[in-house]
C-alpha cells in the first residue's frame, strides 16, 4: 500500500493555477522526485502536502488517513517530515543542539508532567541526546557534534538539516532541494544518504534541480509544468518523453532533462 497518496491536488493564487489536479503516490522505501522548470509548482505542491498551504482542491492521505489541511506539527507527529529549500539551521547553536531542536516538537504538552517528575525529564533528555547522536552518525556528522553549526561546510549543513528532520522518526521525508548549492562531492554524499534512508524503509519525496542526481537515485519521477503533471514514470522513460524535453527546452535545465545518469 502507498504511504502517501496525493489525489487531484490544486491551488490557485490570484487566478494563476500554481498546481492543477496533480496526483501520485509514494510507497515505503521508494524515492519519488518532483521535477519541472522554474515556477512549475514544485514548492507549492510540497507546501500543500506538508500542511503549510491549504489546498484549494484535492486530498492528501498518509498511511490511509486523510491529512488534507493537517498542520505541519501534527503531520510531523504522524510521520511526515520535511526540509526546506533555505536552510533552517541555527548557526550559533552546536550541531547536536540543532538536532535536539527537532526532538522538542514531540515534547509539547508534557511540561507539567516534567515539573512533577524531574527524573523522568532527565531520562527523556538523555534519551533524546542519545538519539540525536545516533542521527548525527547516520548523516556522518558525529565527530562534529559539539561544533557550532555555523562552522560547518555547506554540504554538512544540508546533512544536518536532514538529521533534524529525522528526529521524529518519519515514515516519509520531503526534501526540498537537498543538493542545492552543493559541490559535486557534497551532492554525492547527499545522494548516498538519501539512498540509505530509502533502503531503511523511509519513503522519500524529493524536489531537486540537480537532474543528474534525480536520474541517479529516483525510482519514480513526476514532471510538472505550469502546475500540471505532464509526465511520470521511471527516469529512463521520463527523460525520453517529448513533452518533458519540450518543457525544459530553452531553460537552464535543458541539458539536465536529457541526463542519462
Ligand atoms: N504565495 C504565493 N502567492 C502567489 N503566487 C505564488 C505563491 N507561491 C508560488 N506562487 C506562484 O506559483 C507558481 C509556482 O511556484 P513554485 O514556487 O511552486 O514553483 P517551483 O516549481 O517550486 O519553482 P522553482 O523551481 O523556481 O523553485 C509560480 O508562478 C509562482 O510565482
Kindly list the domain boundaries of the chain, sorted by start residue: 1-79+170-261, 93-164
Polymer length of the chain: 261
Q: Among 20, 34, 40, which is best to mutate for testing ligand 1, by the most ligand atoms less than 8 A from CB? A: 40
Q: What percent of the chain has pLDDT over 90?
A: 72
Confidence at 103, pLDDT banded by 50, 70, 90: confident
3-state secondary structure of 219: coil
Cβ 29 under 6 angstroms from ligand 1: no
3-state secondary structure of 118: helix
Going by the DSSP 8-state scheme, the letter that residue 226 receives in this structure is T
Residue with CA closest to ligand 1 atom 3: 13
The yes-or-no verdict on residue 115 having pLDDT over 90 is no
The yes-or-no verdict on residue 86 having pLDDT over 90 is no
Q: Which CATH superfamily is domain 1-79+170-261 in?
A: P-loop containing nucleotide triphosphate hydrolases (3.40.50.300)
Q: For residue 46, give the ligand 1 atom closest to its CA.
A: 18
Q: Which of 61, 34, 31 is nearest to 49 (CA)?
A: 61
Cα dihedral 144, 145, 146, 151, rounded to 10, equals: 50
Residue 88 Cα distances to 84, 149, 179, angstroms = 7, 11, 15
Residue with CA closest to ligand 1 atom 31: 39
Q: For residue 53, give the ligand 1 atom closest to its CA.
A: 1
Residue-level pLDDT at 121:
67
How many whole angstroms separate alpha carbon 112 and alpha carbon 116? 6
Longest CA span, the chain: 65
Which of 22-26, 190-194, 252-256 has the lowest average pLDDT? 252-256
The yes-or-no verdict on residue 259 having pLDDT over 90 is no
Mean per-residue pLDDT, 35-42: 94
Q: What backbone phi and psi angles, to 5 degrees, belong to 67?
A: -120, 15
Q: Do 201 and 29 meet the contact criterion of CB atoms below 8 Å apart? A: yes
Confidence at 42, pLDDT banded by 50, 70, 90: very high
The yes-or-no verdict on residue 227 having pLDDT over 50 is yes
The yes-or-no verdict on residue 157 having pLDDT over 90 is yes
Mean per-residue pLDDT, 164-179: 93
Q: For residue 44, give the ligand 1 atom closest to its CA.
A: 18
Residue-level pLDDT at 161:
93
Tell me what ipTM this predicted complex has.
0.95
Cβ 42 under 6 angstroms from ligand 1: yes
Cβ 48 under 6 angstroms from ligand 1: no
Cβ 37 under 6 angstroms from ligand 1: no
Q: Do 156 and 187 meet the contact criterion of CB atoms below 8 Å apart? A: no
Confidence at 260, pLDDT banded by 50, 70, 90: very low
Query: How far, in Å, from the CA of 13 to the mean position of ligand 1?
Result: 9
Confidence at 194, pLDDT banded by 50, 70, 90: very high
Residue-level pLDDT at 256:
47
Residue-level pLDDT at 203:
98
Amino acid at each position: 500500500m502507498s504511504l502517501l497518496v496525493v489525489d487531484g491536488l490544486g491551488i490557485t493564487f490570484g487566478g494563476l493555477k500554481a498546481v492543477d489536479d496533480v496526483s501520485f503516490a509514494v510507497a515505503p522505501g521508494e524515492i519519488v522526485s518532483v521535477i519541472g522548470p522554474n515556477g512549475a509548482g514544485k514548492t507549492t505542491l510540497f507546501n500543500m502536502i506538508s500542511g503549510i498551504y491549504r489546498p484549494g482542491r484535492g486530498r492528501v492521505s498518509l498511511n490511509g488517513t486523510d491529512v488534507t489541511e493537517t498542520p505541519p506539527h501534527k503531520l510531523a507527529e504522524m510521520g511526515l517530515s520535511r526540509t526546506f529549500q533555505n536552510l533552517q539551521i541555527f548557526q550559533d547553536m552546536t550541531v547536536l543542539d540543532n538536532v535536539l531542536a527537532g526532538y522538542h516538537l514531540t515534547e509539547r504538552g508534557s511540561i507539567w508532567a516534567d515539573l512533577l517528575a524531574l527524573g523522568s525529564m532527565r531520562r527523556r533528555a538523555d534519551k533524546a541526546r542519545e538519539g540525536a547522536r545516533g542521527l548525527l552518525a547516520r548523516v556522518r556528522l558525529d565527530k562534529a557534534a559539539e561544533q557550532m553549526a555555523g562552522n560547518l561546510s555547506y554540504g554538512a549543513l544540508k546533512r544536518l538539516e536532514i538529521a533534524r528532520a529525522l528526529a521524529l522518526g518519519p515514515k516519509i521525508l520531503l526534501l526540498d532541494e537537498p543538493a542545492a548549492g552543493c559541490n559535486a562531492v557534497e551532492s554525492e554524499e547527499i545522494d548516498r544518504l538519501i539512498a540509505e534512508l530509502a533502503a531503511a524503509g523511509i519513503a522519500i519525496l524529493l524536489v531537486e534541480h540537480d537532474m543528474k542526481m534525480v536520474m541517479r537515485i529516483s525510482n519514480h519521477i513526476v514532471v510538472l509544468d505550469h502546475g500540471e503533471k505532464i509526465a511520470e514514470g521511471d527516469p529512463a522513460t521520463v527523460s525520453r518523453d517529448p513533452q518533458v524535453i519540450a518543457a525544459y527546452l530553452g531553460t537552464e535545465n535543458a541539458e539536465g532533462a536529457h541526463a542519462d545518469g
